[in-house]
Amino acid sequence: MGRKLDPARKEKRGPGRKARKQRGAEVELARFLPPGKSGLSRPGGSAAEKHALKAAGQPPRGRSGFSDDNSKLLAPAKAKKIPSKGNNVELSSDGEVEEGSWEMEEEDGSSDEMVDDYGASSSEEEESLCASVLALDDSLIVFLPAEPPDLHIIHQRIKGNMEVLQDFVVKREEGRTRQEYLALLRRDMAAYYSYSDFLLTKLMDIFALPELINFLEANEVPRPVTIRTNTLKTRRRDLAQALINRGVNLDPLGKWSKTGLVIYDSSVPIGATPEYLAGHYMLQGASSLLPVMALAPQENERILDMCCAPGGKTSYIAQLMKNTGMILANDSNAERLRSVVGNLHRLGVTNAVVSNCDGRQFPKVLGGFDRVLLDAPCSGTGVISKDPAVKTNKDEKDILRCAHLQKELILSAIDSVNAASETGGYIVYCTCSIMVEENEWVVDYALKKRNVRLVPTGLDFGKEGFTRFKDRRFHPSLKSTRRFYPHTHNMDGFFVAKFKKFSNAIPQPSYLGLFSQAASPAEAMQVLLTAPFSLVSDEEPAVKAATPSAVPDTVREPQTKKRKLEGSKVDKEQKPPQPALKKRRSLQAQRRPLKAGRPSPKMMRPQAPTRKKNRVKLNGQ
């Protein structure tokens, strides 16, 4: 048990540093509050209150107050800095000044300067300096933060630079290049919209400058709240009427969706209505409906949702299949599967099986699916309005790390599909990112590594995917992929691609195939330098035809077995007639046993006769 505290008992304050700090507070409080209301003592008055009034230069109770003419006498006492022996100020372990280092000298109205707890003067001459620098001691200076930049000036400069860049030849300043204008514009946009320089450079490579401004502005505004009607339990018309009766202002999402509703405002929480708890609808973004519509699941099919959490797409697939067939909802994060199970139970889904497995190893666990949906984990550059931290916490390593994981997952998804399926054999790949490294680059990689081809997604809107980006060249069929942007379609940034698998066989890599499928000259050179010799097959005449031209005409190498198999006309003319060689070798083979009686050392070896027999047989063929 600790010591009992008696509130009525007042401890006498000593001359330590805490007493001085409390004294400073009393002085400041007494200057602003009228006597008797400072809360420092009981109503009857005390020595502490009288001492505070005396330090503030005010008379005790009963005396007449001061007039404006002698207002200078209201200034507090001045503190003199008296160094200790050796003219050094001693600091305690917690950074406070040791007792005895400072002494207060009370003077009634003898100074015009106000002194704080650290002994710094606040006269008019030093106020401008203290705005940026606070001097605590002769050897200690603390720099206060600078003033924030004027966003209005930066915004006007962005507009001016945009106008100059749109008509650069006419409006540019003399001696300034386009790169200087672009660098200034990128720096201003990074400061105005709070983006990292890396991400803003990536966005400038994807969008034109006017479209980039629209994209950045759209990310500052949240996307509208949308819900998806669960047709397993109700119809969209009945759900809309029930929500309108509860004070919800809504509209149909669009002509492209038969189940979506957009919520403008509501007097009740959308995630806690009786209709929501009964499973009549699901809170889901508009862009999340697109991959399931592209997948187009049919009844009585076996479908895999490789990255299913939190279960919105899985429940939409079950709704389109009318709870028939089988859906395998998989996710590698066991914690996120709890929300999947809860949503499936609430929405009345009965044809789903939930699993916790690494998607990269899934073909080893189970395969033979009719369709696979892969909503791959990504950097999230399409949902910046939901997660503004993406503006600054993503770099090149994060993008490449996500792209590597997506390549592994898409190959695993393709291997899990049965190409011989009567109704399926389709794979839908989607991300909530707009980076080319995570979208077109991954799709082009899958086209090279597996027997798949791109097919139309079935979505009537959206922008076409890139077939060329900077120095990279992708497959022409990437035009059938779709991109969605917040500033164009008023939904989160999204990418959707649909594959059709036409063979279950995995193609083996070849040297010529790697060279011809290189996306850039640098990549082709990398293939030439790093491809192993085992990848070079005999079925590549285009690559081998270049080897003889590099050899000078004066140097003649002996004919190899590969040159004989090629059977070119030039080689046939240079070779001696084959029948004459066969006759000579056969005659020599017949004469050797009939020579001298003494056998040679070669004839005494047991392997010699077998070699001659084999040679005779080869010549006789």
Q: How many CA atoms lie within 13 A of 414 on its CB side?
A: 29
DSSP H or E run through 584: helix 578-591
**Residue 331 is assigned to a ligand binding site:** yes
Alpha carbons 492 and 222: distance in angstroms, whole number: 9
Residue 342 among known ligand-binding residues: no
Q: 87 vs 19, 120, 174, 183, 420, CA distance in Å? A: 24, 18, 61, 53, 92
- Alpha-carbon distance of 476 to 326, in angstroms, equals 35
How large is the greatest C-alpha to C-alpha distance in the chain, in angstroms? 155
The residue type found at 494 is: F
Rounded CA separation 82/76 (Å):
19
- Report how far residue 121's alpha carbon sits from residue 108's, in angstroms, rounded to the nearest whole number: 18
Residue 309 labeled ligand binder: yes
d(CA 309, CA 375): 10
Q: What is the rounded distance in angstroms from the CA atom of residue 250 to the CA atom of residue 436?
A: 35
Extract the tokens encoding 15. Answer: 């001359």
Q: CB neighbours (10 Å) of residue 42? A: 9
375 is in an annotated binding site: yes
Phi, psi torsion values for 462, nearest 5 degrees: 110, 155
Distances 535 to 179, 207, 531 between C-alpha atoms, Å: 44, 40, 7
Computed on alpha carbons and rounded to an integer, the radius of gyration of the chain in Å comes to 42
Structure tokens at 13: 């304050």
Q: Check if 432 is active-site.
A: yes
Determine the 3-state secondary structure of 265 from DSSP: strand
DSSP letter assigned to residue 453: E
> Could you say which of 378, 402, 430, 432 is catalytic?
432
Nearest Cα residue to 120 out of 81, 76, 74: 81
Nearest-10 crossing angle of helices 312-321, 337-347: 30
239 and 229 Cβ atoms separated by less than 8 Å = yes
Residue 431 DSSP one-character state = E
Of 292, 516, 303, which Cα lies nearest the Cα of 423?
A: 303
CB of 282 closer than 8 Å to CB of 230: yes
> 313 labelled as ligand-binding?
yes
The Cα–Cα gap between 188 and 161 comes to: 10
Please tell me the distance from the alpha carbon of residue 505 to that of residue 502, in angstroms, as a whole number.
Answer: 9
* Residues 300, 371 contacting (CB under 8 angstroms): no
Reported as type and span, the H/E element at residue 499 is strand 494-501
State the Cα–Cα distance between residues 383 and 433, nearest whole angstrom.
8
Please state, in angstroms and rounded to a whole number, the distance separating the CA atoms of residues 56 and 35.
Answer: 12
Query: Is residue 21 part of an annotated ligand binding site?
Result: no
Is 308 annotated to bind a ligand? Reply is yes
Question: Binding site, residues?
Answer: 307-313, 331, 358, 375
Question: Binding site for S-adenosyl-L-methionine, residues?
Answer: 307-313, 331, 358, 375
Catalytic residue positions, numbered: 432
